[in-house]
Amino acid sequence: MSAILICDDGDVDEVAPYCESHGFGIEVQAFYIPVALEDDTKVEQHRSRITKIPVRALHAPFGDLCPGSFDSAVRALARTRFEQGYKVARALDAGHIVFHHGYVPGTSGRDGWIKRSTEFWRDFVDGKSETVRYHLENMLEREPGLLSDVVDEIDRPNVDVVFDVGHAHCYSRVSPLKWVETLGSRIGYVHLHDNHGEADEHLGLGQGTIPMTEICQSLREYAPNALWAIEAEGVGVSESVNWLTDNGFMN
C-alpha cells in the first residue's frame, strides 16, 4: 500500500489527533450527510483539525444517489450532491474523494447503466482538478465486473475503484479474493473492515469471517499502490492497526 488512512466516522476531533500521532492519513466522513455540506462552520472546523495530516480523503454523499439511473432527475440530484462534496473536498485540500458507484441490483440493465454512468463520470471529472483522485466504491454490487467495466469505459487516469472488503463479503455473490483479482490495478483505494457475512458490521480486522490475511496479500500483489483506509468502528480501529502490524502488513 502507499499509505494507511483512518476513517473518522464523523468524529474528526477524536480521530485527527490519533492520525497525527501515528502518522496516518484521514478520511473525513461527516460530509456524506447532506445537511453538513451546507454548513460552512463545519467545513472550517474540519479544515482546522486536519491541517497537519498530509494524506486527506473525503467521503462524498451517497444515500439514495444513483449516477447511472435511467431517470435524469435522479442523475441530476446525484450531480448536485457530488458537486457539493467536491467543493468541500477542495476546501479541505483533500486529494482523494470517495464516491459510491450507486448500482442497486435489479434496477437497471447492464449496458444502459454502463453507458449512463460513463457519461456521468466523464462529464463530472472533466474540467476539475487533475490532482484530485476520484474513487468509485462498491456497495450492493453482486460481482466486480460491472464496476470494472464502468471504470474502464470512463478511462480517466484519476478515476479508479474503492474496493470495500466488507461490502464484498456481505453483499456480493463473489468472494472478496475474486474481487481483488478481477479489479486488479483498478483498485486505488481500499476500505478495510470485517464482518460475519450477514451484515455490514464494520468490525476490526480479524474479528469477523473475512479471510483478511489472504485479502491483504492479494492487494499487495494486484494493487500495490492503493491507499488502505481502516473503516472499523470504535475499538475496531486499534484492533485493526494491531492486526496489520502483527501480520506484517505495517511497520
Q: Percentage of the chain surpassing pLDDT 70?
A: 100
State the pTM of this model.
0.97
Q: Tell me, yes or no, whether 69 lies in a domain.
A: yes
The continuous run of DSSP H or E covering 187 comes out as strand 187-192
Report the distance separating Cα 202 and Cα 237, nearest Å. Answer: 10
pLDDT value at residue 87: 97
Q: In this structure, is residue 52 part of a structural domain?
A: yes
- Per-residue pLDDT, averaged over 179-207, amounts to 98
- 59 part of a folded domain: yes
Does residue 223 form part of some domain? no
Local confidence band at 1 (pLDDT 50, 70, 90 cut-offs): confident
Q: What is the pLDDT of residue 226?
A: 98
- 192 located within any domain: no
What pLDDT is stored for residue 149 in this prediction? 98
Asked whether the predicted pLDDT for residue 103 surpasses 90, the reply is yes
Give the chain's domain count.
1
Q: Determine the pLDDT at residue 2.
A: 81
CB 25 within 8 A of CB 6: yes
Q: Are strands 187-192 and 227-230 parallel, antiparallel or unpaired?
A: parallel
**147 located within any domain:** yes
Residue 208 lies in a domain: no
For residue 27, give the CATH number of its domain. 3.20.20.150
Q: What is the pLDDT of residue 110?
A: 95
Q: Does residue 91 fall inside a structural domain?
A: yes
Helix or strand run (H / E) with residue 7? strand 3-7
Confidence check: pLDDT of 160 > 90: yes
Structural domain containing residue 101: 3-164+237-246
